[in-house]
Structure 1
Amino acid sequence: MKKVIYSVFTLLVLSAAGCSDDFFDINKNPNSPTTESVSPQLILPRVQHAVGARMAVSYDFAAHWMGYWARSGTYGPSQERESYNITNTFEQDEWNTWYDILTDVDIMEKKAVAEEQNFYVAIAKTLKSIGFMYIVDQYGNAPYTKAFDVTGNILPAYDKGEDIYKDLLLQLDEAARLMAGAAITTDMRNVDIMFGSTRGYSVDNQKLMWRKLINSQRLKLLIRQSEVFGGTAPAAEIAKITADGSGFLGAGQTADVQPGYAVVDGQQNPFWNAYEVTALGARDDYNRANNYVLDKLMNNNDIRYQYYFSKVQTKTTAQPNDYYGYNFGEIIPNNAPNAANSSDVSGPGLAKSATQPQWIFTSVESMFLQAEAIQRGWLPGDAKAAYENAVRESFTWLGVSNATATANTYLGENIANWDAPINANKINLIVMQKYLALVGINNFEAWVDYRRVGVPTDLPLSLAPGRGTNGIPTRLLYPQSEYNYNSANVASQGSINSQTSKVFWDK
């Protein structure tokens, strides 16, 4: 009976994703369960799937800004995105949807605390750390301590971004402690679509993988603040992580979700559905390979371009190449190659099937974070070996043929060779190779690292005629909805400029 109930709920979750983001929103939708009737067991897979969907489709703007993707010749300019002259309505769903998801997570946490279900409490704290990290990384200061007190504080004040980060680390400390001692029931095993029984994990491995994810998220928050710490390592925080003893997400250990994706309208893997083909046959003709990263890969014998991007559907006399990209913001002549004559962004390493799990935190990203932490002296180990293993994991994760041997050959290229004189700055090398390893996988991370350490150092700016002297935005603007409904508190943040205002870790 439990399996039947879970299967029905899986369909509910997938139907929710297909109809709208709000279909299974327990806060607003009258067709959905009320907060009184839902349990942590019902909320968990919904929020896991929702977070996965954010990772899959929400950061195409960062992919364009960061040299991964560009607009195809079939479309005219996207003025706001390509001029960097963004407004309060640009990507405002980032704020609204994350808070919507986090409200559900908060309900799950409160109910789990009341029912003494530490497993769900630990997961809620972990998911909150991810969601609030994305909010701070895009907007800086934001409602946090009063964010969910709807009855007592419907107009929440803003907390400082650095204070939010500090508390997120404390919440992750508690999450690690709770997960270590949590009792896991059969129902908890069934509904965890990340590390539960439906994913093939034993009870012990389920706990271990959650603790690895928690530690990887802790490290991610610390690496974000690398330039704030400067030469002073966050020793106390690192000590907590190493004392946990669980380690980090490593080779073959990606945190992804699988609620039962199917080749049905509204039930496909979100990345596949957005960038490969919908169940109804519609294809993404807008997003295409950016010449910056395409050339960077092709000119350095890096075969991964064949896994990030697809071969052109139709070659012509004017465009006879297997792979063809565009420059971000360029004016494309009417007679230039169009979508069918260029490389889409759903290459075979990313879009493997409509039913594939949806990644949230990949082994590749985790291993690069570890390599950087070792190089900075925060973690023990051999930085060169950790770095090279991260590069190898990228090839393996993408499904490159003879991945290890191919990666080893690539590691001999100047661009990737640890010992090459041009790579004296090891942090820049690690971050640059992380950039090349996350094309289409975590576009947002590239924007973070560019603001954090200025890598890639040769990233071209938009060619849009209306760009003027604008550079890549340092943050998003608070959404118009905040000015409409929480005007006094958002106004207290002062005048925000996306060209000069920065989040706290951007030094």
Structure 2
Amino acid sequence: MKRKIYSILTATALLFLGGCTGDYLDINDNPNSAVSSTPELVLSNALNTTAGRLTHNQIGNFFGGYWAPSGSYSGFIEERQFDYGATYGTGVWNGCYDNLTDYQYIVDKAEAQKWKAVSGIAKVMIAFNYQILVDAYGNIPFSDALKGTTSIRPKYDDAQAVYNGLITLLDAASADLKVAISGDNPSPAGQDIVFKGDLTKWRKFANTLRLRILMRQTNVTGKDLKTEIAKVVAEGAGFLGAGATVTSTPGYLKTAGKLNPFWENYVQNAAGSDAGAKQAYVCSDFFITTIQDVLKDPRLPRLAAKNNAGIYVGVPLGDGNDANLFPKRSWFGPAIIKSFDQPMVLMTAAESFFLQAEAIQRGFMTGDAKATYEAGITEAFTAAGLTAADAAGYYGSSIVNANWANSPDKIEAIITQKWVAMFSLTGFEAWSEFRRTGFPKVPLATKAVQAKAPARLFYPTSEIATNADNVAAQNVTSQFDNKIFWAKK
């Protein structure tokens, strides 16, 4: 986090204060803030950074049942055993808070100039990042965070209180985004690499994010989700619809460090050679078996690739012997691996439909749950390169958890189809939904140290070192038993 940098700089400066005046530290009043940029220019980089972070999705792709390490790579002990500590996945914490600092800078500067459009976008993205943090760690610094040198050891807020704060923040974002573009409220179109300045689409994204946050709390006793969701509907913009997957398109180039991050890390470098970690990641046995044998899903050739023997076969998470070498197992398919300049996905439109379908099915919204569910499947099919007719043939079949009428547990059907739709794109969401609902029934890693799946991440060593008392007060001792407040009990 950037406050760590401040602490180091301050400590270094104090070594030299004996021969300096009291104005020494006035060189930079707030090292957490840019001193020569403007909020709209920072926006492009902040959005690109959000979209390019892979750590949380990689973790989710493992724990959510999508990926497994191939036998061609050693290591991955944490994933194979579900046994990890405070050094595991630290990029989730550090990356989110670093990114949040940029968005908070945008809000502070934009609001000072009454630039509501820019401020509203940044508020949506602050909520987006904070939800990742809550869903990974539970209680986190929120009300006392992002204050630079005035709060270098921020207190922690209760996770549900943070969720409530995010709803309030998204309400404020929507109000900002409703303000008409004018000379006093300039359009961010030139710097908005997500929606090109379309503020109605940003409002739809904000509403869908609010719905995600609310639906995550279906296990929370006493939460009046029907009333809260009615407020989201009343906002007026609606939710993300067909073809409205939220993506970042900064203009990727075939140059080192400027390719699509997923492509550069998992596929090829700028010179066209295989990425160093390409053969490390393959489809899990659970994913292949579920799609091929259980769901009999025609998307399989789009989502996965055949092995060198011409069949689809995955690796059981935990196994790593020669039978599971990369050429012998299924890699990612053409719907996932397209080109060096493919967009990075922040939220799929299919997820929006499935969130709505679940809300309707649970009685929190009015509407047709079946039709909305089928619209979600259609969106997922077309996004994968198939047709609406292909989707209709699939959900019109007799397959359980594809056909609505033949699925005895409608919530399981919705979550199962959402899980397929998010394959490799938003793996962290798949892990969160598994922890919330128990669907689909992702198996334990074969080398798991306990008969339990991971429920959370540990606070990272960087936070323990700089904010030890507040970390200790959270009393997190187990990645299995210290569940996030919304998790299935």
What's the counterpart of residue 340 of structure 1?
327
The reply on whether 1:165 has 2:163 as its aligned counterpart is yes
Aligned to 1:91, which of 82, 89, 92?
89
What's the counterpart of residue 410 of structure 2?
426
State the AA in 2 paired with 1:170. T
The reply on whether 1:213 has 2:205 as its aligned counterpart is yes
Aligned to 1:323, which of 312, 327, 336?
312
The reply on whether 1:367 has 2:353 as its aligned counterpart is yes
The reply on whether 1:104 has 2:102 as its aligned counterpart is yes
Matched residue count: 458
What's the counterpart of residue 23 of structure 2?
none
What's the counterpart of residue 3 of structure 1?
none
Equivalent residue runs for 1:293-304 within 5 Å: 293-299=287-293, 300-304=295-299
What's the counterpart of residue 353 of structure 1?
339
The reply on whether 1:264 has 2:258 as its aligned counterpart is no
Q: Shift of residue 301 of structure 1? A: 2.6
Q: Shift of residue 207 of structure 1? A: 1.5
Q: 1:278 to 1:28 in 2, by over 3 A?
A: farther
Equivalent residue runs for 1:85-484 within 5 Å: 85-183=83-181, 188-196=188-196, 206-229=198-221, 233-280=224-271, 281-283=273-275, 284-299=278-293, 300-312=295-307, 315=308, 320-332=309-321, 334=322, 336-345=323-332, 347-400=333-386, 403-411=387-395, 412-415=397-400, 416-420=402-406, 423-457=407-441, 459-464=442-447, 467-484=448-465
**What percent of counterpart residues are identical?**
34
TM-score (norm 1): 0.86
SS in 1 for 2:234: helix
Q: Over aligned residues, Cα RMSD in angstroms?
A: 2.3
Q: Distance in 2 between the 1:121 and 1:229 partners?
A: 34
State the AA in 2 paired with 1:288. V
| Contact 2:117–2:187 (CA under 8 A) maintained in structure 1 | no
SS in 2 for 1:190: coil
What's the counterpart of residue 15 of structure 2?
none
State the AA in 2 paired with 1:354. F
| Contact 2:283–2:304 (CA under 8 A) maintained in structure 1 | yes
Q: 1:71 to 1:413 in 2, by over 3 A?
A: farther
Q: 1:481 to 1:493 in 2, by over 3 A?
A: same
Q: Shift of residue 442 of structure 1? A: 1.2
Equivalent residue runs for 1:53-92 within 5 Å: 53-54=52-53, 56=54, 58-92=56-90
SS in 1 for 2:254: coil
What's the counterpart of residue 45 of structure 2?
46
| Contact 1:27–1:34 (CA under 8 A) maintained in structure 2 | no
State the AA in 2 paired with 1:298. Q
| Contact 2:305–2:312 (CA under 8 A) maintained in structure 1 | yes
State the AA in 1 paired with 2:131. M
State the AA in 1 paired with 2:280. Y
State the AA in 2 paired with 1:471. K
Q: Distance in 2 between the 1:354 and 1:310 partners?
A: 18
Q: 1:134 to 1:337 in 2, by over 3 A?
A: closer
Q: Distance in 1 between the 2:423 and 2:6 partners?
A: 34
Q: Shift of residue 85 of structure 1? A: 1.3
| Contact 1:39–1:111 (CA under 8 A) maintained in structure 2 | yes
| Contact 1:27–1:35 (CA under 8 A) maintained in structure 2 | no
State the AA in 2 paired with 1:289. C
Q: Distance in 2 between the 1:181 and 1:229 partners?
A: 36
SS in 1 for 2:247: strand
Q: Shift of residue 266 of structure 1? A: 0.9
Q: Shift of residue 186 of structure 1? A: 6.2
Q: 1:187 to 1:430 in 2, by over 3 A?
A: closer
| Contact 2:6–2:149 (CA under 8 A) maintained in structure 1 | no
Query: Would you identify which runs of 4 or more consecutive aligned residues in structure 1 move more than 6 Å?
Result: 25-30
| Contact 2:71–2:320 (CA under 8 A) maintained in structure 1 | no
| Contact 2:33–2:105 (CA under 8 A) maintained in structure 1 | no
SS in 1 for 2:219: helix
| Contact 2:55–2:91 (CA under 8 A) maintained in structure 1 | no
Q: Distance in 2 between the 1:413 and 1:73 partners?
A: 37
Q: Note the alpha carbon deviations across 1:367-392, whole angstroms, 9 max, x for none.
A: 11111111111121100000011011
| Contact 2:458–2:476 (CA under 8 A) maintained in structure 1 | no
| Contact 1:265–1:279 (CA under 8 A) maintained in structure 2 | yes
SS in 2 for 1:256: strand
Structure 1 spans left out of the alignment, 5+ residues: 1-20, 198-205
Q: 1:57 to 1:502 in 2, by over 3 A?
A: closer
Q: Distance in 1 between the 2:6 and 2:230 partners?
A: 39
234-243 or 287-296, which deviates more? 234-243
Q: Distance in 1 between the 2:63 and 2:194 partners?
A: 30
SS in 1 for 2:52: helix
State the AA in 2 paired with 1:76. S
Q: 1:491 to 1:182 in 2, by over 3 A?
A: farther
Q: Note the alpha carbon deviations across 1:168-200, whole angstroms, 9 max, x for none.
A: 101111111110114266662211111116xxx
Q: 1:57 to 1:476 in 2, by over 3 A?
A: closer
Q: Shift of residue 282 of structure 1? A: 2.4
Q: 1:503 to 1:89 in 2, by over 3 A?
A: same
Q: Shift of residue 151 of structure 1? A: 2.1
What's the counterpart of residue 12 of structure 1?
none
Q: Shift of residue 47 of structure 1? A: 0.9
Q: Shift of residue 208 of structure 1? A: 1.0
Q: Shift of residue 131 of structure 1? A: 0.4
Q: Note the alpha carbon deviations across 1:96-147, whole angstroms, 9 max, x for none.
A: 1100000111011100111110111111110010100000000000001111
Q: Distance in 2 between the 1:99 and 1:27 partners?
A: 16
Q: Note the alpha carbon deviations across 1:230-258, whole angstroms, 9 max, x for none.
A: 7x642332222111211100110111111
